């Protein structure tokens, strides 16, 4: 491993890419420490620790939401825009045509994604500001600004536009990393935010009041986390290889084709997207309850309390519903991705076929059946990973969670992808790689 690192830094081009990626991460962490004025950051940090949706948004912002920095939204609006565009591409004929036009069409869809990110970021910034302005800590408001009244209209617009610009700045930095550095830039930014918050999470786990004198529980919790990481690696790397035979073609005096390749159907084709969908829906009733708790009507306040109890992340019914939703969204998103890849049509166009399966509709039915079976393993695993913090806290008594399920998936996935790219760069130059 050490030799591979030394070899990587011996290659000028690879060394430049690694140093460029580290420099961009340093700039990102510097920007994330610039707060928006008028916010009680200590009270805001406590609120985020108690709210799962805000915790997910803080994760995608690289912990910028806890300080309500100018990049408090992180790259979450851009990820949302990407998901929307992926879901709308099969539905809207124009987008479907662009997806079939090669790199030029994909670039156009990417441009539409950037345009969609701007209004989404502005609306999300407005929602955050409204939510935080209505929250209190020990009777003290979290924020000192009133949005869009007679005296604060210009300052409110400046606040929202600054947060929107911060999101677009992070997207730009991420694309610079993708083009000139190592790994996927947006994923690297999220990865950097998680790693930056890790020391504080470790300190809170060790010194927290709920974990004092519970050394055995902490060790057991660490073992569960390590087993989860190993499971994530195995599932992310797991695939079913479908053999594909290419028909022989003769042009002039040369013969083409006749070889056999394979289609790698992944066990987890959906990645972390099902977790994001499920968390966003599951915490929505709790967000509504936060708005209703300040109502002047006793019945409304009672309804808010019921919602809070039913959709508490520490309740059994919440985690059962969460598990089922993750499994369902895994199947849904996997099928969406599979339909967009158009594998049966591409095989038929290339004169390739799966042995024993007729091209066209029969190939589509066969691949769908195989994908449905192997996705069951990935879906159940994602569901278990999603509720693993709840299971681990019940088994160990450790309530302060070190890493959430989404965090583990991101950290492990980004690390594997980055190592693969470094491995490919080293092997191209006949050096021994990282993965042995």
Question: Contact, 209 vs 63, CB < 8 A?
Answer: no
Give the rounded percent of residues in the chain with a pLDDT score beyond 70.
Answer: 73
> Does pLDDT of 217 surpass 70?
no
Higher pLDDT, 73 or 170: 170
Distance in angstroms (rounded) separating the CA atoms of residues 96 and 75:
25
pLDDT tens per residue across span 98-110: 877 777 888 888 8
Query: If you average pLDDT over residues 323-339, what whole number do you get?
Result: 87
Higher pLDDT, 165 or 237: 165
Kindly give the interhelix angle for 52-60 and 41-50, rounded to the nearest 10 degrees.
110
Where are the domains positioned within the chain?
1-207, 209-399
Distance in angstroms (rounded) separating the CA atoms of residues 408 and 198:
12
Whether the CA torsion 387, 388, 394, 395 is positive or negative: it is: positive
pLDDT tens per residue across span 17-51: 888 988 998 898 888 888 776 666 676 777 676 66
Distances in Å between the Cα of 337 and the Cα atoms of 133, 265, 349 are 39, 11, 20
Fold of 209-399: Preprotein translocase SecY subunit (1.10.3370)
Higher pLDDT, 16 or 285: 16
**1 alpha carbon, distance to own chain's centre:** 28
- The pLDDT of residue 213: 47
- The pLDDT of residue 51: 63
pTM: 0.76
pLDDT tens per residue across span 254-266: 665 567 788 888 8
Distance in angstroms (rounded) separating the CA atoms of residues 291 and 143:
16
**pLDDT-based confidence at residue 86 (cuts at 50, 70, 90):** confident
How would you label 105-125 residue by residue, b for 16+ Cβ within 10 Å and e otherwise? eeeebeebbeebbbebbbebb
CATH number of the domain located at residue range(s) 1-207 in this protein: 1.10.3370.10
pLDDT tens per residue across span 178-194: 888 887 888 888 888 77
> Does pLDDT of 211 surpass 50?
no
> Does pLDDT of 282 surpass 90?
no
**pLDDT-based confidence at residue 397 (cuts at 50, 70, 90):** low
Distances in Å between the Cα of 237 and the Cα atoms of 224, 378, 418 are 20, 11, 14
Which alpha helices (DSSP H) does 312-360 contain, by range? 316-341, 343-349
- The pLDDT of residue 50: 65
Query: If you average pLDDT over residues 393-398, what whole number do you get?
Result: 68
Query: If you average pLDDT over residues 65-80, what whole number do you get?
Result: 81
pLDDT tens per residue across span 119-162: 998 888 887 777 676 665 555 555 555 555 666 677 778 888 88
- The pLDDT of residue 119: 92
| Domain 1-207 and domain 209-399 have a common topology | yes
> Does pLDDT of 401 surpass 80?
no
């Amino acid at each position: 491993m050490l030799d591979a690192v030394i070899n990587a830094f011996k290659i000028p081009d690879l060394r430049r890419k690694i140093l460029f990626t580290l420099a961009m991460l340093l700039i990102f962490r510097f920007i994330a420490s610039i707060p928006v004025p008028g916010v009680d950051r200590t009270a805001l940090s406590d609120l985020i620790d108690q709210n799962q949706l805000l915790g997910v948004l803080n994760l995608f912002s690289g912990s910028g939401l806890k300080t309500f920095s100018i990049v408090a939204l992180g790259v979450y609006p851009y990820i949302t825009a990407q998901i929307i565009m992926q879901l709308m591409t099969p539905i809207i004929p124009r987008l479907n045509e662009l997806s079939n036009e090669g790199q030029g069409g994909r670039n156009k869809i990417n441009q539409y994604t950037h345009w969609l990110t701007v209004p989404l970021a502005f609306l999300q910034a407005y929602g955050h500001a409204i939510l935080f302005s209505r929250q209190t800590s020990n009777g003290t408001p979290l924020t000192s600004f009133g949005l869009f009244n007679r005296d604060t209209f210009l300052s409110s617009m400046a606040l929202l536009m600054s947060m929107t610009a911060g999101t677009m700045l992070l997207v730009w930095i991420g694309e610079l990393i993708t083009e000139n550095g190592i790994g996927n830039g947006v994923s690297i930014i999220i990865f950097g935010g998680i790693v930056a918050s890790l020391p504080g999470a470790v300190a809170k786990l060790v010194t927290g009041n709920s974990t004092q004198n519970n050394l055995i529980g902490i060790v057991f919790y660490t073992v569960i986390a390590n087993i989860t990481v190993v499971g994530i690696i195995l599932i992310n790397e797991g695939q079913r290889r479908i053999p594909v035979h290419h028909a022989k073609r003769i042009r002039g005096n040369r013969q083409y084709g006749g070889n056999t390749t394979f289609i790698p159907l992944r066990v987890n084709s959906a990645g972390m997207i099902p977790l994001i969908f499920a968390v966003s829906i599951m915490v929505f009733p709790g967000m509504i309850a936060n708005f209703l708790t300040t109502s002047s009507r006793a019945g409304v306040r009672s309804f808010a309390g019921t919602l809070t109890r039913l959709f508490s992340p520490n309740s059994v019914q919440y985690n059962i519903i969460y598990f089922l939703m993750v499994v369902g969204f895994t199947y849904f998103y996997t099928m969406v991705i599979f339909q967009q890849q158009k594998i049966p049509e591409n095989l038929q166009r290339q004169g390739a076929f799966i042995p024993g399966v007729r091209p066209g509709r029969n190939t589509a039915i066969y691949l769908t059946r195989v994908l449905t079976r192997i996705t069951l393993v990935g879906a159940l695993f994602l569901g278990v990973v999603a509720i693993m913090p709840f299971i681990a806290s019940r088994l160990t008594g450790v309530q302060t969670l070190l890493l959430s399920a989404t965090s583990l998936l991101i950290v492990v996935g980004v690390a594997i992808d980055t190592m693969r790219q470094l491995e490919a760069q080293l092997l191209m130059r006949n050096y021994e790689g990282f993965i042995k």
